Structure 1
Amino acid sequence: MSDDPQTLTCWLCERPLGDIVQWHHPVPKSKKGKVKVPIHPICHKTIHANFTNNELARIGEDAEKIREHPAIAKFVAWIANKPADFDAPTR
């Protein structure tokens, strides 16, 4: 995988990435996670607003399991047609 934002897609929402790219550990570093995946800042905030590090460690690196969560599924559907660098407050 290239680190060029023009060729990357977001691990969570699968939209193309914009100018601002964050790197998310699907399994948190505090739980011995080593893998990093590219993600939009708003998607990153949404994951951490809905899951604890312990929950993320149990789920592992499977983005599909994260997307199955009702709040995340609603978020992914909502953000699907937004521009790559779209941002908004998260709860």
Structure 2
Amino acid sequence: MSDAAACCWLCERPLGRRIEWHHPLPKSRGGRETVAVHPICHRTLHAQFGNGELARIGHDADTLRAHPVIAKFVAWVSGKPPDFHAPTAKRR
């Protein structure tokens, strides 16, 4: 695993045993590149954003982290161990 892949693309915590691969530009919008994320981070992204929104944001993780819901999530998960998992709340 390279240094870039050693941390989650969204929360920037070290990755654990379980890794999922997120398409910053959704596959349905032609995206092919993937980034490593924790399962909980991946589910949070897709619970909060649709493919159209993710396509507009693209590879800009800083923009995602600046979104109020994602910022709150990242602050909450920042102290959790790499393999931490919990149910993900759906977007209201």
Shorter chain as denominator, the TM-score bin is: over 0.9
Identity of aligned residues (%): 64
Q: CA deviation at 1:32?
A: 0.5
Q: CA deviation at 1:34?
A: 1.5
- Alignment RMSD: 1.4
> 2:42 aligns to what?
44
The alignment of Structure 1 onto Structure 2 pairs a total of residues equal to 88
Q: CA deviation at 1:60?
A: 0.9
Partner Cα separation in structure 2 for residue 8 and residue 27 of structure 1: 21
Partner of 2:6: helix, strand, or coil?
Answer: coil
5+ residue gaps in structure 2? none
Q: CA deviation at 1:35?
A: 1.2
Code of the residue aligned with 1:86 in structure 2: it is F
Q: Following superposition of structure 1 onto structure 2, how do residues 5-24 of structure 1 map, counting pairs within 5 Å?
A: 8-24=6-22
Q: CA deviation at 1:80?
A: 0.4
Structure 1 runs, 4 residues or longer, greater than 3 Å off: none
Partner Cα separation in structure 1 for residue 21 and residue 30 of structure 2: 16
Normalised by the size of structure 2, how large is the TM-score?
0.91
> 1:54 aligns to what?
52
